[in-house]
Structure 1
Amino acid sequence: MAEALWYNEPAKAWSMGLPIGNGRIGAVVLSEIDKETWSFNEISFWSGRSEPSPKAYGGKAAIKEIQARYLGGDFTGGKLLAEQYLQPPKKNYGTNLTVAKINLAFDQSSAAISNFRRELSLDEAVASAQYMVGDHNYRRETLVSNCHQILVSQISTDSSQGISLTLSISSENSDFTVASMGNALEFQAHALESAHSDGKCGVRGRGIVKITAPGGSIQVNNEKLMVKDAKSILVFLTFNTDFRQANNNWMSLALAQLKHAQSYTYEQLKTDHMNDHQSLYRRVSINLGSNERAALPTNERQSRFKEAGFDDPSLFALYFQYGRYLTISGTRANSPLPLHLQGLWNDGEASKMNWSCDYHLDINTQMNYFPTEMANLSECHAPLIDYIETLAQDGKTTAKQFYGSPGWVAHVFSNVWGFTDPGWEVSWGLNVTGGLWIASHMIEHFEYTQDKTFLSEIAFPILKKSAEFYLDYMTVEPISRCLVTGPSVSPENSFFTGDAKDGEQQLSLGPTIDTILIRDLFKFLIKAGSQLNTDAGFCSRLKDALTKLPPFKIGKKGQLQEWLEDCEESQPDHRHLSHTIALCRSDQITPRHSPALAESIRVTLANRQARADLEDIEFTAALFGLNFARLNEGDSALEHVGHLIGELCFENLLSYSKAGVAGAESSIFVIDGNFGGAAVVGEMLLRSSDSEIDLLPALPLKWPSGFVRGLRARGNLEFDIKWEDGNLTLVTLKAFSPGRVTLYYKNYQVHLSFYSLEVIWLSNSLELLSKA
């Protein structure tokens, strides 16, 4: 495996640094000749604190009153009441913060320097930098071990003069101290900031940096570690926080982790780390073809990408594997929390503004996990599943206090403190299906794994409680007699009612996104209840309610309606495309079974693309790509992923949101584009639903020959696919659960039944070649 990001120029800014991580602690490595900086982060290092929901905030009576206003067409009155009853004040919500910067300053020779190269090996999960001074080699390697819970760096040379360096620690946190501890530095950090909390509350953490340098000398001076004339230097970094800790035992973890790591050689630590990482990473291999651009440094390939018409197929493959690498590095089965807005890393920008580096539940957190199951990394879903369980528990209070309803609910975003209330502005804060949207990943996890224990013990009870909320909360629209949600938003868009006095509105009854999510929820629970032979009465209620949900509607412009009525968008260039998940994240709309509705989404996409002032950001590009992949338009999907890679990613290929969008003064790192882009590449090659699988459904002309091995499909299936000259040549299906499926390729289809652990080989026309 040779997948790597590499550069022949130093990293002078965070956006050029290389991300490493173990699912809990992460760093972005900025390598220059005479210095190196590790921007260091920890997933639970949050400001803020837990805040209780208001004990009385309207409840059922207020909701009925608000719904009555909207049912009567009184949008202005309904919004005023919503602001009164569903707009709690912002308290100590908090944000994830960068912990510190570890600064390495090298006493570098002034002799001629050559052959500089820095690299992130996706297969080894090691960030490195190497160069020559005269005839001598210098090399740095940095990794973050999951099995040993420590960051380790080896710095070495073959020069007899060795290496001299000074290590110091700095932080933007106001409550941050560094003290010497033998040949080590201890640092204590308190996550404080005043943009999202009162500046007085947050997580505390303790870390240790230790250096060993056989053959060299080490001194400690003014809270700095100074090494002289060492041919090989090891730097160890450990850090832990008091998040969810009942006592102070966490304070001793850093020293224990350090002592444990030092009982191993660097070679042993690296081998353990690589074996652990590769046990996940090497499950999938991909080859989309190659050309001469593959030999260029990553930043040069990226800068030439658009000009070359995105004709660099191996860069798409690299981006797909980079998404898998970031998943493995950012969210592991033992991670205490899932990926946030910036994954596991943090450039500090979102933390300083109204965004917050948190859990956005109206696309961002979901997109972080779009490729997880498909990319054969199912275990990496565990932190999100655990987080959903927490949301479901905390959301019970919100359901009761704000809505007077049973079950649970969460809204537009959340934090590590159990925030599930509406946001503090109804215009965006009343995304009443945000919690359900993130909980739909439980449905996806089951569909891919077929884990009946997970279904019965975790997914079904939590999703049932979500359904209980919506059954109680929804109201009947008197003209259509449909069950509708509301007041709710279609994230984070707005519309005109047609009545000039109403002006721009955000809240309504029955936005399409709500109906999509609730329909999928009810359908899944009905099927799961039958499989588990449980809750027959409740499932009967769901069946009745399912028939009363509003149907999809096509608007006067030929678009899929985003709201219950054919409202005019007040911002037709908006970045959110929430209602299109009926196609790109659900099987409610498909070209095969509902071509007219699929065409309405094509029109929706065309209308957005036609806007010169489209809010062109990372997750929007990924959503365009996902939708075109589901429309079987591979060349269009490729254009959008290419645009994402070439124009919406920094030099380190981490995606960003452009300056000017949602109040951002500069381009802000947001990692969901990396995962969304990886999901698009996967969907172009393999698409699955509960009962149907499409092979190479959106293969673009620029990937005429290639293969992919190890992609997963719903039904607990794994596929190896090979193609040449734009045509399928061989398919291998590995079944890990018994079942049946209809397989499609172009005009061919075959109905397959299989046993657990059965392997099936199929030809280019889906004819059975053999079974084992």
Structure 2
Amino acid sequence: MNTVYKWEKSISQWDEAVPLGSGKCGCLCWGAPQEMRFSLDRTDIWDKTVLWEQREDFTYENLVKLAKEGNVKKIREIFDAPYYYPTPTKLPAGKILVRFPEVKGNMRSTLFLKEAVAQMEFGDGESSYHVKAWIHAVSHIGIIEIYAPENTFFIELLSPEFGEKGTEKEYVYREEERKISQGTLKELKYLPVKRGESKNLQWFIQPVNEKFSYGIVMLVEKKGIKTRILWKIISSEDGENWFSDGKNALLAEAQKEEREFFREHTIWWENYFGESRISLPDKFMEKQWYMTNYLFASASREGCAPMPLQGVWTADDGTLPPWKGDYHHDLNTELSYTHYLKANHLEEGRAFLDFLWELREEGESFAREFYNAKGCCLPGVMTIDGKPLGGWPMYSLSPVNQAWLAHGFGEYYRYTGDEKFLKERAYPYMKATGIFLRELLEEREDGMLFLPVSSSPEIHDDTEKSWLTPMSNYDLALLLNLYESLEKYSVLLGDSMKDIWTDIRKKLPKLAVNEKKVLMLSPDESLEESHRHFSNAMAISPLGLISYEGEGKEIIDAVIKDYERLGTEQWVGYTFTWMAHLYAIQGNGEKAAEYLNIFWKYFCGPNGFHLNGDFQRKGYSEFTYRPFTLEGNMFSADALQEMLFQMKNGKIRLFPAIPEEWKEKGVSFQNLRGENGLMCSAKIEDGILTWKIQSEKSQKVSIEVLGNVVEEFLEAGKMLTGSQNMIKYRICKRKE
């Protein structure tokens, strides 16, 4: 793998910048020689200040009452209003500027994915300069190397331009003023930044509130023609002596031999990219898959906070980040942490599960205080410490989003077969979720269980119509998935609640399907307009409750046909990846590839960032804005992996949804992860399909190759190989 990204001209917007990241810290490299910007970020730099006063009627009981009354105005005043305030919010850390005042022209930039290094070049033939930047993959220290005479440039360390403490204003909720970003950084009122320097060290400390401050320490070393900048983002949450410890850590890393320091960094990335590989005849799609995996490791790492909406790349345009840079659990976090399992990047993905596990007490508190229920439930839209942010409450406070979070624990067990994880993490977390939702379910006269109110993200926005007739297929699919999983795992672990889970599962209604075999929104409403969120099809993707066989095949075909009928006018970028996922399940490789190409070419910036809207105005969507979020990137990689390899309930499908051209030209993958610790590699070359399968655990599997199914027993640790002449197979099929 030797993938590179190139920018031939100066980069004028932060969301098109060259991205660097270590899973904890990030840097965006952009600008022109006259002002090169290195916009710095760290996932846990937040202002957690709550400006709104939580009302006594901020409860689920009151929300249900108002929803049944159709009192939209009151719902907005109580539950949506908190999101209007500028805090809590994710914060940008600061920036380093490198200015070459006498250099004109464009800056050419390159990102080398293999080494996770950015390089910028500029100047004319007589005076050509270049700058390298990277963030150490282990120490999270950033490095900028400037190869130019020291009298040709100067360096500045800048803090964000926040507002001044003492100039606060009163916020009055006005629903018509709600925007994607809640204003500029000037809305945040802080004490003045504290600056300091000592020899070749510079720093600033930004007080945020009485409990939290953060800053950046920068070291500048001049070595002949090269000037080396080392930077570290520090926070009061790093420990009691956070400033001195951070400064000393930076100085200690600076003392390391440079080649060995860089080698530590490149070894980490070499090992990461070696965990799985693909090779496609469509080199553009192959490049995007590697870029997505690069973004994933740059924004997520075990031991660090998981990626929020923008990962480690908070906006650097003077505004607050889109949607506060928060954690959205009605799609965004879940789709961001889907592909890593099959891509075999377990360590990086565990960051999200560890985060949820550590917030169990917060989830128990929120379940008790807001829902008056036992068990665990985190807010659907929340801060880094699990506090509710408000927003459209039918989604931001939907209790069933918690079941989607719990699903992530079940998926980790499904792919790894880690029985210790099941016993100590997955089942306890899912059990706490099951107990919570059981408290909300109401039994009707016919003995069936329903939630008191129901919704389906983000159908009918936050209008009265958004409260669907219970239960929506979104809610129901997640409930069925949760209680079926709890029933299965309780048997494996010998838990006494097995009969309780079975009883709940049996009392849940069936998914609503209309006369055309299309999954409905709710028992009395079908989707009749283009929409960005395929929430009615959750049972197909990503939950996999409906398989592509028998009646399930009819339903999946009908759902796809219906989405095609409704069109893409109200889609955003991630919707195209979701559609590609559905096509992959259907086995339609041509369409899956087509929709992924639309996503990557027209809904992503030149740096691969998912910008949500059809910002190039190519006519694919009426959304032409460009707020950056990462879930579309990660789900696109998952859809591509589904085209190459599928495994469900022990059934393996090799290249189930690839275009015919790929079969002719050759395609391969290495070390994609299946269920129960199974690893698979396969390739098509010169008309011959070959595969290698190895499992960490002994298990029975069935392998479907070109319509033929072979039953195999895999012994733990042993390799199973096979082959199939595809040319002969195609000739036979044509004769038939």
Q: What TM-score do you get using the length of structure 1 for normalisation? A: 0.82
- Contact 1:107–1:163 (CA<8 Å) still a contact in 2? no
Structure 1: gaps of 5 or more residues: 192-199, 216-230, 290-312, 497-501, 767-772
| Corresponding residue of 1:303 | none
| Corresponding residue of 2:110 | 119
Alpha-carbon displacement from aligned partner over 1:194-222 (angstroms, at most 9, x marks no partner): xxxxxx6884212111111123xxxxxxx
In the TM superposition, what is the alpha-carbon distance from 1:648 to its structure 2 partner? 0.1
In the TM superposition, what is the alpha-carbon distance from 1:169 to its structure 2 partner? 2.5
CA spacing shift, 1:613–1:464, aligned 2, 3 Å? closer
Q: Which of 69, 94, 97 is the aligned partner of 1:103?
A: 97
Q: Which moved more, 1:357-366 or 1:258-267?
A: 258-267
| Corresponding residue of 1:329 | 298
1:352 partner SS: coil
Alpha-carbon displacement from aligned partner over 1:651-694 (angstroms, at most 9, x marks no partner): 11211122899999941111111111111111100112232221
Q: Distance in 1 between matches of 2:60 and 2:315?
A: 42
In the TM superposition, what is the alpha-carbon distance from 1:587 to its structure 2 partner? 2.5
Map of 1:97-246 to 2, 5 A cutoff?
Answer: 97-106=91-100, 108=102, 117-130=108-121, 133-134=124-125, 138-156=129-147, 164-170=152-158, 171-174=160-163, 175=190, 176-190=193-207, 203-215=212-224, 231-243=225-237
Q: Which of 630, 639, 660 is the aligned partner of 1:671?
A: 630
Alpha-carbon displacement from aligned partner over 1:15-44 (angstroms, at most 9, x marks no partner): 331111111110011163444211111101
**2:264 maps to 1:276:** no
1:366 partner SS: helix
Q: Which moved more, 1:653-662 or 1:398-407?
A: 653-662
| Corresponding residue of 1:456 | 423
| Corresponding residue of 1:573 | 530
Q: Distance in 1 between matches of 2:81 and 2:157?
A: 39
Q: Which of 704, 711, 721 is the aligned partner of 2:682?
A: 721
**2:279 maps to 1:287:** yes
Alpha-carbon displacement from aligned partner over 1:713-753 (angstroms, at most 9, x marks no partner): 1211111110136x661001121222222221221112222
Q: Distance in 1 between matches of 2:604 and 2:318?
A: 16
| Corresponding residue of 1:307 | none
Q: Distance in 2 between matches of 1:203 and 1:702?
A: 56
CA spacing shift, 1:351–1:711, aligned 2, 3 Å? farther
In the TM superposition, what is the alpha-carbon distance from 1:507 to its structure 2 partner? 4.4
In the TM superposition, what is the alpha-carbon distance from 1:391 to its structure 2 partner? 3.7
| Corresponding residue of 1:483 | 449
- Contact 1:18–1:29 (CA<8 Å) still a contact in 2? yes
Q: What TM-score do you get using the length of structure 2 for normalisation? A: 0.86
Alpha-carbon displacement from aligned partner over 1:505-561 (angstroms, at most 9, x marks no partner): 43442211122122222222222222223x22x111101111121112212454211
In the TM superposition, what is the alpha-carbon distance from 1:711 to its structure 2 partner? 1.1
Q: Which of 323, 332, 340 is the aligned partner of 1:355?
A: 323
Q: Distance in 1 between matches of 2:156 and 2:73?
A: 54
In the TM superposition, what is the alpha-carbon distance from 1:81 to its structure 2 partner? 9.3
1:142 partner SS: strand
Q: Distance in 1 between matches of 2:103 and 2:575?
A: 48
Structure 2: gaps of 5 or more residues: 164-189, 727-736
CA spacing shift, 1:527–1:127, aligned 2, 3 Å? same
Q: Which of 465, 471, 481 is the aligned partner of 1:510?
A: 471
| Corresponding residue of 1:370 | 338
CA spacing shift, 1:418–1:49, aligned 2, 3 Å? farther
2:325 partner SS: coil
Q: Which amino acid aligns with 2:501?
A: L
Q: Distance in 1 between matches of 2:58 and 2:146?
A: 62
| Corresponding residue of 2:357 | 389
- Contact 1:583–1:598 (CA<8 Å) still a contact in 2? no
Q: Which amino acid aligns with 1:212?
A: E
RMSD: 3.2
- Contact 2:10–2:31 (CA<8 Å) still a contact in 1? yes
2:543 partner SS: coil
Q: Which of 509, 514, 530 is the aligned partner of 1:555?
A: 514
Q: Distance in 1 between matches of 2:649 and 2:93?
A: 43
2:156 partner SS: strand
Q: Which amino acid aligns with 2:197?
A: S
| Corresponding residue of 1:589 | 546
Q: Distance in 2 between matches of 1:249 and 1:742?
A: 57
| Corresponding residue of 2:408 | 441
| Corresponding residue of 1:520 | 481
Map of 1:398-413 to 2, 5 A cutoff?
Answer: 398-413=366-381
2:162 partner SS: coil
- Contact 1:97–1:348 (CA<8 Å) still a contact in 2? no
Q: Distance in 2 between matches of 1:654 and 1:129?
A: 19
In the TM superposition, what is the alpha-carbon distance from 1:53 to its structure 2 partner? 10
Q: Distance in 2 between matches of 1:556 and 1:146?
A: 54
Q: Which amino acid aligns with 2:196?
A: A
| Corresponding residue of 2:187 | none
1:504 partner SS: helix
| Corresponding residue of 2:731 | none
| Corresponding residue of 2:175 | none
Q: Distance in 2 between matches of 1:470 and 1:662?
A: 36
2:658 partner SS: coil
In the TM superposition, what is the alpha-carbon distance from 1:351 to its structure 2 partner? 6.3
Matched positions, count: 690
Q: Distance in 1 between matches of 2:139 and 2:102?
A: 32
Q: Distance in 2 between matches of 1:380 and 1:4?
A: 22
CA spacing shift, 1:135–1:89, aligned 2, 3 Å? closer
Q: Which moved more, 1:625-634 or 1:746-755?
A: 746-755
Q: Distance in 2 between matches of 1:764 and 1:212?
A: 60
Q: Which amino acid aligns with 2:400?
A: T
